Chain A
Amino acid sequence: DAGITQSPRHKVTETGTPVTLRCHQTENHRYMYWYRQDPGHGLRLIHYSYGVKDTDKGEVSDGYSVSRSKTEDFLLTLESATSSQTSVYFCAISEAGRNTEAFFGQGTRLTVV
């Protein structure tokens, strides 16, 4: 398995609380991504990073922010969790270049009650 780990693996939180998910890689890949997985939607991109301190929004970025202060860490923050953010969150990494493979973390199951 590629060296990519997510923490926590499971979390239950209350509506309105902030939540931070962490993605850590040991592969030194330049690009990092956060996706959410929902039935009927597949995986949708939340935010991505193309370098340290370089991030941009994806398809479903509302209510989320990210930070990348080091190559190896990419943090996803739900500023004020809502029930619609209950989902499975996947971090992924890839090298620069065309047709490169994306490597995925194990996923974080987040439940907002």
Chain B
Amino acid sequence: AQRVTQPEKLLSVFKGAPVELKCNYSYSGSPELFWYVQYSRQRLQLLLRHISRESIKGFTADLNKGETSFHLKKPFAQEEDSAMYYCALSFSGGYNKLIFGAGTRLAVHP
């Protein structure tokens, strides 16, 4: 069965520190992986997807099929990055249904 694991409930860092939010998945085929973010009082929105290999707001994520991971990284955290981050998996033929991890709350302190 497909599964997404985010081992950290809370990640607390100071402004300017590097950030890595961990995400591991289990899926036997070729997954489609995403990071969604929910800022306070806002709706969930897409941050980035693995297929695009893009950098959004300074965040990057690389799909490592050998380690079945899709960790989210940013070299220098900003206070406005404080939010709830969800890693999600979708798969071919699945009507784009998303399987979410439990989420990691990132708190960036001044």
Residues in chain A within 8 A of chain B (CB atoms): 1, 31, 33, 35, 40-45, 48, 50, 56, 58, 90, 92, 94, 96-102, 104-107
Decide if A105 touches B102 in the complex (CB within 8 Å): no
Of B4, B45, B97, B99, the most chain A CB neighbours within 10 A belong to B97
In the complex, whether B17 has a CB less than 8 A from a CB of chain A is: no
Contact B43 A42 (CB under 8 A): no
Whether B100 pairs with A99 at a CB distance below 8 angstroms is no
Determine if B46 and A101 form an interchain contact, defined as CB atoms under 8 angstroms apart.
yes
**A61 to B43, alpha carbons, bound, how many Å?**
23
**Bound form: Cα–Cα A40–B101 in Å:** 9
The total of interchain contacts (Cβ-Cβ below 8 angstroms) comes to 58
**B 70-110 to A, binary, CB cutoff 8 A, 1 in contact else 0:** 00000000000000001000101001111111110000000
- Given A99-B90, A102-B46, 6 more A-B residue pairs with CB atoms under 8 Å apart are A33-B98, A41-B102, A43-B98, A58-B97, A102-B96, A104-B45
| Closest residue on chain B to residue A54 by CB atoms | B95
Residues of B with Cβ closer than 8 Å to A? 4, 6, 9, 32, 36, 43-46, 49, 51-52, 86, 90, 92, 95-103
A44-B96 contact in complex given A99-B49, A99-B51, A104-B45, C-beta closer than 8 Å: no
Is the Cβ of A104 less than 8 Å from the Cβ of B95? Answer: no
Cα A22 to Cα B45 in complex, Å, equals 20
Residue from the list A31, A43, A56, A100 in contact with B100, Cβ < 8 A: A43
A100 to B96, CA, bound (A): 7
A48's partner among B9, B43, B92, B95 (CB-CB below 8 A) is B95
What residues of chain B lie closer than 8 Å to A42, measured between beta carbons? Answer: 4, 6, 86, 100-103
Contact call B96/A31, Cβ cutoff below 8 A: yes
